[in-house]
Copies of this chain bind each other. A is one copy, B any other.
Amino acid sequence: MTKQTPMEALLDRWGEYEDIQHASMVLEWDQETHLPTGAGEARSQHLATLAGLSHEKLTAPAFRKALTAAERDGSLKGREQAMVREAKRTHDRARRVPRELVMELALAESRGLAAWKTAREEGQWSDFAENLSTLVRLKRRLAEAVGYQDTPYDALLEDFEPGATVKQLDPLLGELKEATVDLLGRIRRSKRRPDRKLLRRKFPKEGQLRLGRMVAETMGFDFTEGRLDLSTHPFCTSFHMSDVRLTTRVDERDLKPSLFGVIHEAGHGLYEQGIGRELARTPLGDSISLGIHESQSRLWENLVGRSRPFWKHCLPRARRVFPEALRGVRLDDFVFAINDVRPSMIRVEADEVTYNLHIILRYELEKELFSGELQPENLPEAWNRKMKELLGIVPRNASEGVLQDIHWAMGLMGYFPTYSLGNLYACQLYNKARKSIRGLDRRVENGKLLPLRDWLRTSIHAPGKTYSAAELIQRATGSPLSTKPFVDYANAKFGELYGL
């Protein structure tokens, strides 16, 4: 055997760490899709052991030694340097967190999840408030351990959107809020309303799955290297570019959740399938940020999937699957119905316009929680006040208010903003795609979606973590991230639909 280069040695270590991570993700996928009801405890134990092992491998002195040797290797090329950079970032982050804090957090998250489930069922905030206090306290300690530039909240952002800071997000989300509140006000004053009942007919499960699969295939999702299954909470996961799994749930009285859910998850899935194969088992073989990931799901779900050109292609096909439910439904009525804008309590059911207000609400509350301005026990009042302020409606109870999302219970704080970043990135990318792909709308009308997939693959998917999110968006669109494309898009689209 010839001697390994420092880079090869590092990649061996990394590969082992990553294989353990991917094995965990297979177990998690199985947990959401196939686990027998009585097997939860056993599965938690398996996952805890794998989590411990992957942390052990990542922080091992042998890993550090390989990393240091690679860092000192002056002969590395650009991509290899990026690999070392990402390996170092991951390794350093893991080493900075004391093992005892990792375990306390894991415990608080698993307890938080259980308490949240009960609290949500009962609509009792007080059942969960103390868990949230603990989680916020531990997350503050985590932020101190990993370090940050301006504010502890930046350290949380870093885990989901590397490079993002409060300083950058505040103006972006501030502009978005202002423009959205304005647009929403105008929509609410419009006399036009879509007929939403079009989508509330009988859509048999088997047909919804068939249509979802057909649409995902048209988008270019490769089912020889992926799957679509059922789960309670839809998601996309990937164990390798050749094994990408989507899930959906089906409501037979409503076409939207499953159909747009599949398009959304398939957008994520195309990202995972499109990461360069040569980056597998390297520190670059993954998505760069959750915001960029969400931009891919949102671009397909909203900019393509809720557009008139797409439905010009798709409605006749959907009608073949549901001849009764879609009999006599006109294209324009259908497109208006799937683009109905109205303030609602539940984020995941929100339309394109109000969605970002749900996110901004959470972002503002999270910051106040972390700065200490807001105490967890006062969160429900703060939530309701902000709902009134931003959306003009107030939840009847905590379950449809402050308790609706699973994120905080799982310790996912600093995560929500990536959803709105995704919406912004998506519009900016789609504008550029329109310029780069001749006659994109006409292609979409004809069901020719592969040029778009391939443009995204080259611009966004293939590089994996080679560039930061900011670099990636600059390279792909020629400009830094801005709210303008989204605001222009929303004003134009909903202006036309609502006759503003």
Contacts and interface: CB of A to CB of B under 8 A. Distances in A.
Nearest to A39: B243
A24 B239 CA distance: 14
Interface in A211-259: 222-227, 229, 239-240, 242-244
A240 B49 contact: no
Given A20-B53, A46-B239, A30 B39 contact: no
Contacts of A46: 19, 22-23, 26, 239
Contact of A242 (B26, B34, B38, B226): B38
Given A19-B45, A50-B23, A224 B38 contact: yes
A300 B324 CA distance: 48
Interface string A25-36: 011001000111
A138 to B, nearest CB: 19
Interface string A264-291: 0000000000000000110000000000
A314 to B, nearest CB: 25
A433 B45 CA distance: 36
A26 B30 contact: yes
Contacts of A43: 239, 243
A23 B26 CA distance: 9
Each complex incorporates copies of this chain amounting to 2
Interface residues of A, number: 39
Interface in A35-92: 35-39, 41-43, 45-46, 49-50, 52-53
A225 B38 contact: yes
Nearest to A53: B53
Interface in A374-416: none
A73 to B, nearest CB: 25
B281 A36 contact: no
A162 interface: no
Contacts of A41: 242
Interface centre among A23, A37, A45 (most CB of B within 10 A): A23
Contacts of A178: none
A244 B41 CA distance: 14
A46 B17 CA distance: 10
Contact of A49 (B19, B27, B35): B19
B280 A36 contact: no
B224 A42 contact: no
A10 B294 CA distance: 45
A15 interface: yes
A16 interface: yes
A227 B37 CA distance: 10
B19 A242 contact: no
Given A30-B30, A34-B229, 7 more contacts: A16-B49, A22-B46, A36-B223, A36-B224, A42-B280, A43-B243, A46-B239
Interface of A: 15-16, 19-20, 22-24, 26-27, 30, 34-39, 41-43, 45-46, 49-50, 52-53, 222-227, 229, 239-240, 242-244, 280-281
